[in-house]
Structure 1
Amino acid sequence: MQPNSNYVYPQIFWVDGCTDAGASCLPAPPEAPFPPPVPDRRRKPRNNRERRSVGFLVMFLLILVAFTGVGLCIFKIFRLEKELDEVRESASAEHIPPALEKFTGESEQSLRKEVRKAAHLTGNPAQRDLPLEWEPISGHAYTSGIQYRNRGLVISEPGLYFVYSNVLFRGSACDSQVLSHVVYKRNPNSPGSLVLMEDKGINYCTGQRMWARNSYLGALFKLRKMDSLHVNVSKIALVNFEESKTFFGLFKL
């Protein structure tokens, strides 16, 4: 069978990415996607308020460190001064130079001067009966080597003591009663009490007006261990208990 020469065949077109029909073209590679955006890691500048806060914090820490150093220096200085005062007091009390102490070989404890036994008591208005009650601590009152017990001063070491007592009596009207001021002692090994000093006042006021009378007692006594000294008055209501007006004490010679 012969083909029909009068038959018109349809046109066929080849489509590719090349513009030149005579050259062979390779397929185009796929396009790469765009890379992701890189985040901005640069630190944002702080505002003025944050900068001020940081500056104040740094300044506060520097000031705190400076004051701490000054406080430590002052503490060390006071400590050194205290130690120096103690050394001076011990040296002045012993009156022994260091060179002599080396030759004698005596210990520091044996050379230390004994504390002087003394006591000074002041008036105490909170009392209702006798003997008089005293204040042993507050104000000018103190005790050193002497005990204050049961309203009296108790002797712990026998010896020669100077004992004193002062009482100020006062009133708003004169009734001519006898004023009595007595210092006496007791001892558990001896019965009763023994009067050491006594003062009596009569005719100390006239008329219906305010009056005042001071009574002072003081003398040397040889006291035994466990002796307790006390003070009596004729009437508690007439006593002025100010610490500079009414007091009681002793010291060992």
Structure 2
Amino acid sequence: MQPPQGRAGFGCRGDEPGGQVRPVPLPPVQQNLNYCPHIFWVDGCAETGAPCAPAVPTAPFPPPVPDRSRKPRNKGRERGERGSAGFLVMFLLILVAFTGVGLSIFKIFHLEKEVDELREAASAEHIPPAAQKLTGDREENLRKEARRAAHVTGNPAQQGLPLEWEPSSGHAYTSGIQYEERGLRVSEPGLYFVYSRVLFRGTACDTQLLAHVVYKRNPASPGSLVLMEDRATNFCSGQRMWARSSYLGALFRLRRMDSLHVNVSKIALVNFEESKTFFGLFKL
């Protein structure tokens, strides 16, 4: 059996006796890196020395395939989301600012209230007794001045003119005003509102005159001065019962010691019930 032909190796000689393979030294490695030895099979031996074939160019990598699983986002939708987020942030900032302002105002109001309370306590502690007495007297005088008023009601026990009044019973009262000589006398000058109401009624109708007059007197001036007056005629018709109310009211500046009185044309026609006929004044 013959040995196999064409065994590859570094080199061989076919003419060696016995077909023994003898190594053949390769040429030294050149500095040219593109050089490489090629081995050819010739009659079972490898022949070297042929130049290297040109290098096969490497094919470039294909471009990356885009990921189609992610769809492009809508720019309008992105802008809307950004706008909504900005509006929300702005609203939160405004809300925080208003909350801070409200808390500041509440704190300031609370501090002002505490300061006022401290001032009142300090002023009450440092007011001397004499000043407290003067303050109390002044307040008492103010209360007395505020109470300068009178309201008198009809009195059936009439004994001529001017009309007589009830000064204390029922709805009647006097405060800072004196009832004397059938009239109301003022002790302090000032601006007063004066009023009077008289109810006339009868059982038969006639043509007589109904008169209702309020006048004043003063010891420093002779005679009397009419302040208000009401006169009526033809106030009824037929022969049946009738009634007529007369009301007078106005504002007057009165002097000290002025006294006010009421006159009527006929006492017999006056209804003296306290809710129907009355007279009064009060200081403003």
The alignment's TM-score, normalised by the length of structure 2, stands at 0.53
Match of 2:274 in 1: 243
How many pairs align?
157
Match of 1:191 in 2: 222
Asked if the contact 1:122–1:135 (Cα under 8 Å) also holds between the matched residues in 2, the reply is yes
Q: How far apart, in 2, do the equivalents of 1:142 and 1:99 lie?
A: 41
SS, match of residue 114 in structure 1: helix
Match of 1:58 in 2: none
| Match status 1:163 vs 2:194 | yes
| Match status 1:136 vs 2:136 | no
Gaps of 5+ in 2: 1-119
Distance of aligned partners of 1:214 and 1:189 in 2 relative to their CA distance in 1, 3 Å threshold: same
What percent identity do the matched residue pairs reach? 74
C-alpha deviation, 1:110, in angstroms: 2.6
Map Cα deviations across residues 130-158 of structure 1 (whole Å, 9 max, x no partner): 00000001100000000000000001000
Distance of aligned partners of 1:148 and 1:207 in 2 relative to their CA distance in 1, 3 Å threshold: same
Q: CA RMSD in A?
A: 1.4
Gaps of 5+ in 1: 1-96
| Match status 1:111 vs 2:139 | yes
Q: How far apart, in 2, do the equivalents of 1:158 and 1:165 lie?
A: 20
Q: How far apart, in 1, do the equivalents of 2:139 and 2:124 lie?
A: 9
| Match status 1:217 vs 2:280 | no
Following superposition of structure 1 onto structure 2, how do residues 46-125 of structure 1 map, counting pairs within 5 Å? 100-103=123-126, 105=128, 106-107=131-132, 108-112=136-140, 113-115=142-144, 116-125=147-156
C-alpha deviation, 1:114, in angstroms: 2.3
Q: How far apart, in 2, do the equivalents of 1:109 and 1:200 lie?
A: 47
Match of 1:154 in 2: 185
More contact order relative to length (CA 8 Å, sep ≥ 6): 1
Distance of aligned partners of 1:128 and 1:110 in 2 relative to their CA distance in 1, 3 Å threshold: closer
C-alpha deviation, 1:234, in angstroms: 0.2
Asked if the contact 1:167–1:215 (Cα under 8 Å) also holds between the matched residues in 2, the reply is yes
Asked if the contact 1:128–1:236 (Cα under 8 Å) also holds between the matched residues in 2, the reply is no
Greater Rg over alpha carbons, structure:
2
Q: How far apart, in 1, do the equivalents of 2:121 and 2:195 lie?
A: 40
SS, match of residue 249 in structure 1: strand
C-alpha deviation, 1:188, in angstroms: 0.5
